[in-house]
Structure 1
Amino acid sequence: MRPHTLTSAFVSVSRLYTAAAAASSSTCRATHALLPSNLLKTCIPSTTRPLSTSSSLSKLVSPQAETTASKQEIRIPTPSTPVTMAANSATLLESFKARRTYYQLNKELPIPKDKITSIVQENLIQVPSSFNSQSNRVLVLYGAEHDKLWDITSEVLKPLVPAESWDATAGRNAGFKAGAGTVLFFIDTTVISNMQEKFALYKDRFPTWAEHSTAMLQFATWTTLEAEGLGANLQHYNPLIDERVAAEWNIPANWQLTAQLVFGGRAGEPGPKDHLPLEETFKVAGA
């Protein structure tokens, strides 16, 4: 398991791809492991595959401006030069860029529910976990069951929210309920306990590593659903709603709720999204 260091990961893939044609088969398999196969085009043999140069990707890697902060010549990129990337890497990055927060949703799904279910299942299978512990668990709610979740959330929150703030809270919950479904993400704490006993040296790390894995699953699910034309937004009403959710849907006591991904048809556009300058957030050494 690794954090989401997307830029360096995909630049490495591009370099490997252009350096050795024999690596194209493994690159293809790795790419399809991240997204369900029905979301990506069939891999093209490396001898004929065109490499894309996108101006939209130019901000990811560029000429380096050296700094004297370290004898290791740590360098900070300044966006200017486009990067040639393998076709599948570019496709993945375009999907990552297209993933946004859609708060305005409706119940008109652009794809069948069984396809959504299959996409979520495939993400659950493919997302990595530390020591392959497979601690992720998922519940998908559609229709009336989805509506029930957000009714429950309102019931739990109303006694806790100041009266003068309730209208705003109720409006947000109504927006979530207006969607078509919710994916609930859980961590199986029994898996964590078992790994802590088996690998005592890393006992204090397994809870954090499990959080890494559920975060990757949330990101993968969010991205793949939006790649199919859905809108989605990620919420965190746990642990306030945990007890009611467990009782309503017979959730095992060892499943710990971590997030709720609301999805549906797009009834509006996402808001603007700003990024910090790469000069403040990214460094490279040894390149």
Structure 2
Amino acid sequence: MSHYEPPLISAERLIGGRSYDFSRRVAVMAIVNRTPDSFHDRGRTFALGKATEAVRAAAAAGADWIDIGGVPFAPGPPVPVAEELDRVLPVVEAAQGLAVVSVDTYRPEVAREVIKAGAAVINDTSGLRDPAMADAVAGTDASLVITHSLAPPRTEHPRPRYGDVVAEVAGFLRARVALALDRGVRPEQLIIDPGPDLNKNTLHTLELSRRLRDIAELGHPLLAAVSNKDFIGESLDAPQRERLAGTVAALVFWILNGARIVRVHDVKAAVDAVRMTEAMLGYRAPAYTRHNL
């Protein structure tokens, strides 16, 4: 079957002590938010006990990575660094040994502490708005996700405008990758995320999806953070809790166009969709074969 193969820089990587060949593997990243105001779970896992239960459930459902967040990107009141650390560090510790541990943060101070605690990925949704984030990751074994956005985290950016959204996102990511490399981050540490819906409307995100290969051509493993996003809801006229089928369709479409990590809320459905896609692409053997044999 003919399909798109992104030109990956350092396709074979060791992340959190686990080997990944992103030329033949897609990693499933589960979302666990210790926040009272996250856009999808609305505080469902804010309590520490609920968060640790969610970590165990995600690992049992087949998640490769678990992404732990203490402060959403979306507009809202400030959260002190100490409070963010209080939220995420116990969950980082609870996730050790169950999956690769990622932390969704834009603060270098938080990144340094969670890396010390065992986090193997820093997911910076601000796209190195603070260049010191690159310094926090450089010289460690942690991977760094660089995400496109226009506004700082926790701030409004109404009615975003682009001339060519794909070209502008690619240019931003190219520049931020160069910044990270200049500050000592190694190429094999980098992952890129074009930021679907982050300071983008539905038409922007659909255009980004159609031309995703232009972003994948940058050569770093591409993360698909499309789970339950508003572009799915608006495309399907589907409320927040009725976007699973649309999410699965978007995940598969992004994988076929170059994504190699998928960030998801509904882990079991995503794992099944990803593994089935890998099997059809010839990346993965069936779990067993009995039919007509």
Structure-2-length-normalised TM-score: 0.29
Structure-1-length-normalised TM-score: 0.29
Question: Which protein has the larger Cα radius of gyration, Structure 1 or Structure 2?
Answer: 1
Structure number with higher helix proportion: 1
Of structures 1 and 2, the one with the larger relative CO (CA 8 A, separation 6+) is: 1
